[in-house]
Structure 1
Amino acid sequence: MSVTAVAPPCESLKAAFKLAKTGLLERFQTASNVDALMHALARVTDDALKGAWDACEMPSWAALVAVGGYGRGELAPYSDVDILVLLPDHKPADSGDAELTVRIERFIGMAWDLGLDIGSSVRSVAQCIDEATNDVTVLTSLLEARRVYGDTPLFLLFRERYQQTLDPRAFFQAKVLEMRQRHAKFQDTPYSLEPNIKESPGGLRDLQLILWISRAAGFGSSWRELDLRGLITEREARELRRNEGFLKMLRARLHVIAKRRQDILVFDLQTALAESFGFQATATKRASEQLMRRYYWAAKAVTQLATILIQNVEAQLFPTTSGITRVISGRFVEKQGMLEIARDDVFEREPHAILEAFLLYEQTRGIKGLSARTLRAIYNARDLMDRDWRRDPENRRLFVEILKQPEGITHALRLMNQTSVLGRYLLNFRRIVGQMQHDLYHVYTVDQHILMVLRNLRRFAIAEHAHEYPFCSQLMGNFERPWVLYVAALFHDIAKGRGGDHSTLGMADARRFCREHDIGAEDSALVVWMVEQHLTMSQVAQKQDTSDPEVIKQFAALVKTERRLSALYLLTVADIRGTSPKVWNAWKGKLLEDLYRATRAVLGGAEPDAHSELKSRQEEALALLRLETVPEHAERRLWDQLDVGYFLRHDAADIAWQTRVLYKHVESAKPIVRARPSPIGAGLQVLVYVPDRPDLFAAMCGYFDKNGLSVLDARVTTTRHGFALDNFLVAHPEHDGHYRDIANLVEEQLSTLLTAERMLPEPSKGRLSRLVRTFPITPRVDLRPDERGQYYILSVSANDRQGLLYSIARVLAQHRIGVQAARINTLGERVEDVFLLDGKGLSSNRTQIQVETELLRAIAA
């Protein structure tokens, strides 16, 4: 007699659930109905949990309740499953009933064993209400509660008590505040290069929030119901459904590709995700770029429509009797702090009123935004913004007036971009909305970067922000017609993504704009020149030896006038600050400011003279030494050993500090190491004085690398009597300015290292970031003599990683090549370093090729 083995209940349920889910996901690969998938996943999850409920013999007087997204009857492929085990008030979870506790624990454990990512709570009805009263997150999760199994009367009692507790007005205010805080975490923009589909502005959470507050207020829980109630139009409901469907599909496919819960559109998965939608790479666009642009446009539409809907819900929940606050013009009124059109057909009757709305938004004190009625009218007036509208002289005048206003320019242009007005007025701007930048440098899309640069320029002009960049604020305060700078900011990157040099292509756009908007010849020339040269100043400051008078003379010859110099300096600072929070630092600020001041002196008639500059710095340094009570003439023993280059590469304050430290130790056989927080406010300044040897620079770089200190700048001097006097600026990502705490440790450890004679260890290749792995750049090495043939200039471009600088320094040390100076330029995830080298072997072509080959091998990711 044969006996058939019976699988334990959990194994049987698990197999059935896995089979059902696998079948749904396989069918989803070829189907396009994401709602059907999400509802079906919720149903098979219901079935699995019902089976577990029965298997654990849960009491008949309890209820299994789905909450959160699962409560809506929707589940993405790998979403968590939020459940509530609902108990009657006479049997709370802490009642001491041991048997009940065991059964609940067994049920939740079985749910996990089924392969569900469970988020569980066990509460009585009264406990649910108490928690909901004190926590809006709990209140929200219970809003869409759905009975899955168990006692129906108990669930109905819970729903009744919940509705009695729910205050729609308080709920609305709490959720809107929560939304604002969530948006702030994402810099109030959907245009991150790796957005969160669910949480970012314009994501699924914004759509859910609208339906939550509408449902709580009794206005409806679907777009159709909101349409029928008059909160949105039929066209808006259709747009919301379409974009919601796209975002849901995006999230579901992202889960399937990642094989786990994944809501962030990381670079690693963007290409596979794009290909699942049918996007294919072209000669100019990656498949991922095409998908992301589609996402950004969807998020932008959601943001725009959500703003309208939230205002309409608020108007229904908080009706006011005051009506119009004031009449602004025949076309516009103020209503509760918002700019509102006086009649619905204003834009159809007078299309130039579209731009007038944004001008009034800037000019009218007390206006904090555009009303839902105005936003809706702009949304519906898109077809009016055509070629004739763009060519209308009145519109051209209004647009320039928007840029000339003393206040509100940043907010107005951001709002114009959000409502698509900016892109419809400037068609080339429309082309870069949602345009990604894969240069490991920018963290925003092109349009958002441009608006960020313009915002930075505006902050230079606002007194409340003068403490941030005082020198920039001073220059901006003295700059005649600063609105010209805003025009240049709008066009400096507008030609990105077209192929070719975006600076050259942008010049043509800027020139056409100035001509069409009757901007004067002088200002037009400045705008076009700034667009052409907007990268030049940073390249000179960060890659060339600005202590060389010839470099300053050449840059001054390019700039020609002080007005151009100030304009380019302000745009450069704003541009670098608008790329990524990781790119700007005080050291780069100092390089740019030093270049500005030296160039302005030449433009003012001063002839750059190395000897006069040397004498000036020495006299200033001596004055500082006297304040430090250093004996008179004590500096001579050290200074007699230093060449002109040392004094030109260091400012007077650094010369004084180094002299005060070293004047008693000029012949010291022991290493002298001193460290202090950098006076410019960025990192730790480290001074090393030691008898020179070929591997010295590499040894120091190896120490900094091992201790997580990034070298921002290195200035290397070899004295006449064979000592190395090296000055480093280093930074640590975790110290955040508290460098005084580690200064003594660096002095002690580096002194010990330099005292011992050690072989240089093999460099360790640090891990590459996800961004670098996804968008690697081709490493480049360029080694050539300088114009005078005195030194060699080594330029290195590579993906950034830990150990990179040491790898370079070690190769140079092995060939006995000395480093006279180093400019370490980190641009997000990319480095562009420049070294000034000397070494007899470099005069040989064979040696040069060998060094370049070994360097390429060393920096290869």
Structure 2
Amino acid sequence: MSAAPDIPELATALAEAADDGAWRDAAKAGLAARRQFLRERFDAGEAIDRLVSRCADAADLVVRAAWQRCLGDEPGLDLMATGGYGRGELYPQSDIDLLVLAEPGLQQRHQVAIGRFFSLLWDAGLATSQAVRSTSQCIDAARDDVTVLTSLMECRALAGDPGAPKALAAALAPTVLWSPSDYFFAKREEQQARHARFNDTAHNLEPSIKEGPGGLRDLQTITWMGMRLYGVPGLRALVPLGLLGEDECASLEREWRVLARLRFGLHLLAGRREERLGFDYQKNLAAMLGLKDERRDNLAVEQMMQGFFRSAATVMRINDRVLQRYEEQLSGQEAPVPLGEGYELRHGYLAMTEPARLGQGLAPVLELFAAWDRQPDARGLHSETARALGESLGAIGPYAGQPASLREQFMALVQSPHAVATLTRMARLGVLARYLPAFGKVSGRMQYDLFHVYTVDQHTLTVLAHLDGFARKADERFGIAHEIWPRLRKPHVLLLAGLFHDIAKGRGGDHSELGATDAREFAAAHAMPQSDADLLAWLVEQHLLMSTTAQRQDISDPVVVARFANKVADREHLDYLYLLTCADIAGTSPKLWNAWKDRLLADLHAATRFALRRGLENPVHATEIMAETRAAALSRLLGEGLSREEVERIWEAYPDVGFLRYRPEQIAWQTHGIAASGGADTLVMVRPHLEDGGLEVFVRTPDRDGLFAALVATFDRLGLNVLEARVLNSIDGFALDNFQLFAPHGRAPEPAAVESALKLALRDPARVKPPRRAAPRQLRHFRVPVKVGFDASADGRRTRMSLVCTDQPGLLASVAQVLRKFRLRVHDARIATFGEKVEDFFLLTDEANAPIDDPALLDQLREAIVAGVDGEMHHGKKEAQH
């Protein structure tokens, strides 16, 4: 390890530099050596408060040397450090905030020298955020912008009058501008707006250590408020005033060290000012911190992120309490509103009159949440009570060791109309993790992928919120969920299934099976009836069944529906599973749920309900479904003015399977378009579908080589994702292709533009090539091994190909090109993307519409698909580098 750069020697080198160029070189070399030294001290585990102080010391030396070189000891000019740098806290790549305090005449007289001073700092590699103002100009700027005032509240002298910071503070006193009340409400509004930019949660895949909820800025906000409201120098000075408990102060200091160390390491790793803990840095930063992978589902990066999220949650909880105390102090005395039974409302917050009782264990804690349940309009928990609750967490034991009476009380809360709000509060305040230790293990736990955008506990709470929305009919995006909810025999069983469905993640093994075991143990301990316990465990174990069936299989196939119906067995299990599936998908990512998934699951629910009503011993046959679809489509077309003869003439060329795979409404739309086309060889129809950004496309054109590949390549060029492709052939030699498309960002091209692009491509499909684009930044950090599998379709007439790989631009078009080279026909395609992972399924035949049963050919096809996907991935990386 190298020795620390000698600060006096660096000072001497700067003072003796012959010219500005030599000074710049000496400063750059000294700062670079200092950063290398700090990296070594970081790796050695030196305390973070010492590291940020060392970093500020090095900057001080260079700044003072530059000032002396350019301005000397010119009277009337004062140089101050402000903001974070002003409090002596600096990170390797942070800007240094500087204020030159001088009257306007002196500013003008020394303008050139001051400009030279700042230029020297920039040339030395110090990024500065600077201001040149007089005291009156500081007052004006601070009056207009509370962030300017905040920055000036933390300043220290670097050159000039040592008393200047104190004099400036007096000029900016609350009696002059920004009274304590005005400052508090302005900074609280600023924090609320900042949180809203991050969706009011710290649990994002790439969180901001500095600005995100629970980040360093939240900790600084309550510090600044304390300084302004009470004239204290920092957090610890709030303890004697009773505004911050000793335990709370110690917790904030501990979490500051966690967050600050992450930020310091991130700056070292990025080599630039970076505050977002992005995928580009997460793995390497975890390694810098000395963390090791324990197993596949407990990676070092996941351990690091779990530590971050837990620290952020602690900061948010204490931040909320302190803000509430500030508000109460500013609002003055207000008579509490008695609620009876030892509770009252203070300033609208629920308070226990004897909060010390919470230290007695679980009983008073459950009593508190029951009282809160009875006061749904309370603004929250009073800070004094919240603090007492936080201090009492250690006295709360797991449910397994609690008496039956308390477990009954917990179940009463779960069965309350406000159960989701209560469970969410318990989770946020740390109670649920104590009562249910398995939940504590997934608190703050992230999964290192792009599919799960929340930590496991945040995802669970989001799922519960969606379930609560079904009960209250709060979200129109779910077509039939609100109709199904009232039929539930015991809704609390579904809420418990939502609570347990992912509770075993990170333990190793199948989390569905492990979670089902946890659920059974919980049910037994809480004396749930056996039928309820069985339903709960089944839901947890099978919570992925419906989504995988709908997204990976052809649910228009009666065999697929019958197989699913046999697993579900009855209408009750179907209803519960449907609601859990909807909430689980929607709770994984705000962007994951869409109208196509809503219809897909609703269709599977309807088909399964019919199969169950008919009886599992009497499966529905394809001929019945086709007859019903045909009759319904004909009725619609007759109502639209077409004659029976005309419809039957068009349908003579329709393959029977079309009446199985398409809805009556789709058949009618296609038939009407064919009738209106007047027998044209090529027909392209495009219409908005289901929601903003959704399109449905129907193409009827003479079947020929490369048709499917040309179509999907064109969609890719238009920025449209294929969700589903139905590829049929008419009896008279036409392709009848139907596509469900979706624009990822909700801005689909106009239908006329899509129609024109497709018609152009259909003039010569063989010449249409897939576009080549760089993969998005986030995708480059994840690699899913390419897996290609083959098996027979349910009816044995097709070969099903599955493809699992990393998502990338142009993937489907690239695969289509390979299939074209092998002269294979695509009859159906289901495209499912789970974050960075793609799971696509294709139904294939050879040119004669026969299944592919040659093992050698399948091996060649597999090799070609793998090579093509890997080639696209490699090209995407090169494009990104360029």
Query: Please, what TM-score do these two structures have when normalized by structure 1?
Result: 0.94
2:447 to 428, 437, 446: 437
Conserved in 2, the CA contact under 8 Å of 1:82 and 1:120?
A: yes
Q: Please show how residues 243-392 of structure 1 align to structure 2 within 5 Å.
A: 243-284=255-296, 285-322=298-335, 324-330=336-342, 332-349=343-360, 351-387=362-398, 390-392=401-403
Q: Shift of the alpha carbon at 1:429?
A: 1.0
Q: Look up the SS of the partner of 1:728 in the other structure.
A: strand
CA distance in 2, matches of 1:24, 1:827: 40
Conserved in 1, the CA contact under 8 Å of 2:444 and 2:456?
A: yes
Give the match for residue 169 of structure 2. Answer: 159
Deviates more, 1:839-848 or 1:200-209: 839-848
Give the match for residue 225 of structure 1. Answer: 237
Q: Please list every run of 5 or more consecutive structure 1 residues that lacks an aligned counterpart in the other structure.
A: none
1:562 to 571, 582, 592: 571
Give the match for residue 665 of structure 2. Answer: 653
Conserved in 2, the CA contact under 8 Å of 1:694 and 1:817?
A: no
Q: Please show how residues 71-220 of structure 1 align to structure 2 within 5 Å.
A: 71-88=86-103, 90-91=104-105, 97=108, 99-151=109-161, 155-163=165-173, 164-218=176-230, 220=232
**1:20–1:551 distance in 2 versus 1, CA, 3 Å:** closer
Give the match for residue 465 of structure 2. Answer: 455
Conserved in 2, the CA contact under 8 Å of 1:339 and 1:371?
A: yes
Paired AA for residue 821 in structure 1 = D
Deviates more, 1:302-311 or 1:581-590: 302-311
Q: Look up the SS of the partner of 1:825 in the other structure.
A: strand
Paired AA for residue 422 in structure 1 = L
**1:219–1:382 distance in 2 versus 1, CA, 3 Å:** farther
Conserved in 2, the CA contact under 8 Å of 1:440 and 1:827?
A: yes
1:47 to 44, 61, 64: 61
Aligned pair 1:768/2:780, yes or no? no
CA distance in 1, matches of 2:18, 2:116: 20
Aligned pair 1:403/2:414, yes or no? yes
Conserved in 2, the CA contact under 8 Å of 1:675 and 1:744?
A: yes
CA distance in 1, matches of 2:399, 2:867: 58
Give the match for residue 4 of structure 2. Answer: none
1:57 to 71, 80, 87: 71
Conserved in 2, the CA contact under 8 Å of 1:637 and 1:666?
A: no
CA distance in 2, matches of 1:498, 1:387: 19
Q: Please list every run of 5 or more consecutive structure 2 residues that lacks an aligned counterpart in the other structure.
A: 1-15, 874-882
How many residues are treated as equivalent by the alignment? Answer: 844
Paired AA for residue 843 in structure 2 = L
Give the match for residue 642 of structure 1. Answer: 654
1:786 to 793, 801, 811: 793
Q: Shift of the alpha carbon at 1:501?
A: 1.1
Conserved in 1, the CA contact under 8 Å of 2:362 and 2:397?
A: no
Q: Look up the SS of the partner of 2:741 in the other structure.
A: strand
Conserved in 2, the CA contact under 8 Å of 1:80 and 1:116?
A: yes
Q: Look up the SS of the partner of 2:808 in the other structure.
A: coil
**1:53–1:345 distance in 2 versus 1, CA, 3 Å:** same
Aligned pair 1:731/2:742, yes or no? yes
CA distance in 1, matches of 2:292, 2:228: 43
Q: Shift of the alpha carbon at 1:241?
A: 1.4
2:548 to 526, 539, 548: 539
Paired AA for residue 827 in structure 2 = Q
The superposition leaves residues 226-264 of structure 1 with CA deviations (integer Å, 9 ceiling, x where unpaired) of 222222232222222122112111211111122222222
Paired AA for residue 30 in structure 1 = A
**1:718–1:264 distance in 2 versus 1, CA, 3 Å:** same
Aligned pair 1:68/2:83, yes or no? yes
1:721 to 705, 714, 732: 732
Conserved in 2, the CA contact under 8 Å of 1:13 and 1:52?
A: no
Conserved in 1, the CA contact under 8 Å of 2:443 and 2:455?
A: yes
CA distance in 2, matches of 1:155, 1:505: 61
**1:23–1:682 distance in 2 versus 1, CA, 3 Å:** closer
Q: Look up the SS of the partner of 2:796 in the other structure.
A: coil
Conserved in 2, the CA contact under 8 Å of 1:765 and 1:804?
A: no
Aligned pair 1:749/2:757, yes or no? yes
Deviates more, 1:259-268 or 1:143-152: 143-152
Deviates more, 1:447-456 or 1:133-142: 133-142
Conserved in 1, the CA contact under 8 Å of 2:334 and 2:346?
A: no
**1:775–1:356 distance in 2 versus 1, CA, 3 Å:** farther
CA distance in 2, matches of 1:665, 1:642: 16
2:437 to 420, 427, 433: 427
**1:416–1:625 distance in 2 versus 1, CA, 3 Å:** same
The superposition leaves residues 800-839 of structure 1 with CA deviations (integer Å, 9 ceiling, x where unpaired) of 1101101111111111110111111112221111111111
CA distance in 1, matches of 2:252, 2:603: 53
Conserved in 2, the CA contact under 8 Å of 1:587 and 1:682?
A: no
CA distance in 2, matches of 1:265, 1:815: 45
Q: Shift of the alpha carbon at 1:760?
A: 5.2
Quote the sequence identity (%): 37
The superposition leaves residues 446-468 of structure 1 with CA deviations (integer Å, 9 ceiling, x where unpaired) of 111111111110111114x1534
Q: Shift of the alpha carbon at 1:153?
A: 6.3
The superposition leaves residues 322-367 of structure 1 with CA deviations (integer Å, 9 ceiling, x where unpaired) of 1x2113313x322222121211421234631112222222221431
Give the match for residue 593 of structure 2. Answer: 584
Q: Shift of the alpha carbon at 1:124?
A: 2.6
Q: Shift of the alpha carbon at 1:421?
A: 0.7
Q: Shift of the alpha carbon at 1:515?
A: 1.3
Paired AA for residue 52 in structure 1 = A
Q: Shift of the alpha carbon at 1:47?
A: 2.5
Deviates more, 1:376-385 or 1:609-618: 609-618
Q: Look up the SS of the partner of 1:438 in the other structure.
A: coil
**1:517–1:153 distance in 2 versus 1, CA, 3 Å:** closer
Q: Shift of the alpha carbon at 1:12?
A: 4.2
**1:234–1:699 distance in 2 versus 1, CA, 3 Å:** same
The superposition leaves residues 735-780 of structure 1 with CA deviations (integer Å, 9 ceiling, x where unpaired) of x2x54x521111112111111253454x565433444433322111
Aligned pair 1:691/2:691, yes or no? no
CA distance in 2, matches of 1:474, 1:35: 57
Q: Shift of the alpha carbon at 1:781?
A: 0.8
Aligned residues: CA RMSD: 2.3
CA distance in 2, matches of 1:214, 1:5: 45
Aligned pair 1:394/2:408, yes or no? no
Paired AA for residue 39 in structure 1 = S
Deviates more, 1:701-710 or 1:589-598: 701-710
Q: Please show how residues 475-624 of structure 1 align to structure 2 within 5 Å.
A: 475-605=484-614, 608-624=620-636
Deviates more, 1:616-625 or 1:549-558: 616-625
Q: Look up the SS of the partner of 1:265 in the other structure.
A: coil
Q: Shift of the alpha carbon at 1:157?
A: 4.0
1:33 to 28, 43, 47: 47
Give the match for residue 628 of structure 1. Answer: 640
Conserved in 2, the CA contact under 8 Å of 1:580 and 1:828?
A: no
Q: Look up the SS of the partner of 1:837 in the other structure.
A: strand
Paired AA for residue 271 in structure 1 = K
**1:153–1:422 distance in 2 versus 1, CA, 3 Å:** closer
